[in-house]
Amino acid sequence: MAEGNQDNKSSNQMWGGRFASGPAAIMEEINASIGFDKKLYAQDIRGSIAHATMLAQKGIISAEDKDKIVHGLNTIRGEIESGQFQFSRKLEDIHMNIEARLAELIGPAAGRLHTARSRNDQVALDFRLWVKEELQKTESLLSDLIKAFLDRAEDHADTVMPGFTHLQTAQPVTFGHHCMAYVEMFGRDRQRVRHAIEHLDECPIGSAALAGTGYPIDRHMTAEALGFREPTRNSIDTVSDRDFALEFLSIAAISATHLSRLAEEIVIWSTPQFGFIRLSDAFSTGSSIMPQKKNPDAAELVRAKTGRINGSLIALLTVMKGLPLAYSKDMQEDKEQVFDAAESLELALAAMTGMIRDLTVRADRMKAAAGSGFSTATDLADWLVREAGLPFRDAHHVTGRAVALAEQKGCDLAELSLEDLQAIHESITADIYNVLTVEASVASRKSYGGTAPAQVRRQIAWWRARN
């Protein structure tokens, strides 16, 4: 008991050492979101203006009060944008900071703004508006990247390079075809973004705390004023739902994964050993000790951003997974994850677009590599099937012997003599040399979606019509 009394006298002796003041200060620190949710100021003001306008139209507040509110909110926007606004942590979040300043500016009319709403539907609205704008930005950044790839693909529809599986030389492809693979990937990301915009295009405001409101509000009016397709249909779901944030983060994670694979290829291709590309000075750095080095830092950082973005997705999924309906304060932790991922993704997309636009393609190096590693072995097997009528499995075996012979002689398949080839299979004729070159190999892959230059040009045209 005596010990207990002592504890009471100095309440934060056990755990308060790191804090200058008592529990109230710690509460303020854990509770406040103004440090990061000030980013939502423009959405908060837009939402409040739409809400106040609707309240006046429905006769819930007077037109004079509405005018004062709108004028005051516009003043506050100016104060924030010119850096004059004093944000206060005591006022917790952006919603209360703005409302308190409104009261200072216009007096009691400010108190009427919060009629028929709660911070729960207010934050759901502000955050949705923010994520919607971010998705629109992402869509346009993805379009820029797709455009950069289409331009490179067009220039290099005929440029041969080795295609890889297991990062081992597989079959010759064109660099244009490889570029178009990324167009498909980023095109899918862009579709996902468009779908996410459709999914979130419902307006939360008017759901109030969780149950709706008794005031005769018009939620269709606010939805329309704020550019949403329609109001949300269930007030409980509306204040509990952060799917739009999770969807943004999943899309960001998938897109970042694509960027990371591309970054990895850029890192590999720009090594002296591969030498397929040369990065522009603008997107690489030198070494402070090794004068010969040119490092692909931008690509490496794009690759690394993926870690942060994936982390944000996992963080928010984990925050949400145990929450009962409806709003819980846990959900305040949604914003930093989304803001951080959005910033990282924007930067990664812009850096990648710059790198793709600026890099030099070393077609000679690509071509030399395309011909090494017996990359036309499949073409030899296909010739045996087509011209000599062998079953593919037998053709595969015959080709394997040709590869072994070339390896033993230290030459390429196309450098084996006709006698050598005929000793392996008597049906081989001089026509075989027409398929053993890398150009013949890529030109022969005319199947829809294949690497033949004509097919690549066809796919470029398909995307041009959609970009």
Given the rule CB under 6 A, which residues bind ligand ARG? 33, 37, 93, 119-120, 123, 327, 329, 331-332
CA–CA distance, 209 with 226 (Å, rounded to integer) = 20
* Nearer to ligand ARG among residue 230 and residue 330 (C-beta): 330
* Nearer to ligand ARG among residue 331 and residue 416 (C-beta): 331
CA 83 to chain centre: 31
Nearest-approach distance from CB 40 to ligand ARG, in angstroms:
9
Nearest-approach distance from CB 369 to ligand ARG, in angstroms:
53
CA–CA distance, 189 with 355 (Å, rounded to integer) = 19
Among 230, 240, 150, residue whose Cα is nearest residue 186: 150
Nearest-approach distance from CB 37 to ligand ARG, in angstroms:
6
Q: Of 11, 21, 140, 287, which residue is the catalytic one? A: 287
* Nearer to ligand ARG among residue 124 and residue 435 (C-beta): 124
CA–CA distance, 345 with 207 (Å, rounded to integer) = 32
The verdict on whether 199 is a catalytic residue reads no
Nearest-approach distance from CB 332 to ligand ARG, in angstroms:
4
* Nearer to ligand ARG among residue 48 and residue 284 (C-beta): 48
Give the pair of three-digit tokens for residue 241: 């739902």
* Nearer to ligand ARG among residue 65 and residue 99 (C-beta): 99
Nearest-approach distance from CB 338 to ligand ARG, in angstroms:
12
Task: Give the β-pairing of 202-203 and 285-286.
Answer: unpaired
* Nearer to ligand ARG among residue 331 and residue 349 (C-beta): 331
Render the burial of 48-79: b for 16+ CB within 10 Å, e for the rest.
bbbbbbbbbbeebbeeebbebbbebbeebbeb
Nearest-approach distance from CB 42 to ligand ARG, in angstroms:
16
* Nearer to ligand ARG among residue 266 and residue 331 (C-beta): 331
Nearest-approach distance from CB 183 to ligand ARG, in angstroms:
38
Give the chain as a 3 state SS string: CHHHHHHHHCCCCCCCCCCCCCHHHHHHHHHCCHHHHHHHHHHHHHHHHHHHHHHHHCCCCCHHHHHHHHHHHHHHHHHHHCCCCCCCHHHCCHHHHHHHHHHHHHHHHHHHCCCCCCHHHHHHHHHHHHHHHHHHHHHHHHHHHHHHHHHHHHHCCCCEEEEEECCEEEEEEEHHHHHHHHHHHHHHHHHHHHHHHHHHCEECCCCCCCCCCCCCCCHHHHHHHCCCCEECCCHHHHHHCCHHHHHHHHHHHHHHHHHHHHHHHHHHHCCCCCCCEECCHHHCEECCCCCCCEECHHHHHHHHHHHHHHHHHHHHHHHHCCCCCCCCHHHHHHHHHHHHHHHHHHHHHHHHHHHHHHCEECHHHHHHHHHCCCCCHHHHHHHHHHHHCCCHHHHHHHHHHHHHHHHHHCCCHHHCCHHHHHHHCCCCCHHHHHCCCHHHHHHHCCCCCCCCHHHHHHHHHHHHCCC
Nearest-approach distance from CB 66 to ligand ARG, in angstroms:
24
Q: Of 10, 82, 166, 447, which residue is the catalytic one? A: 166
* Nearer to ligand ARG among residue 184 and residue 336 (C-beta): 336
Nearest-approach distance from CB 68 to ligand ARG, in angstroms:
25
* Nearer to ligand ARG among residue 277 and residue 316 (C-beta): 316
The verdict on whether 255 is a catalytic residue reads no
Phi then psi dihedrals of residue 348, to 5 deg: -65, -40
Known catalytic residues are 166, 287
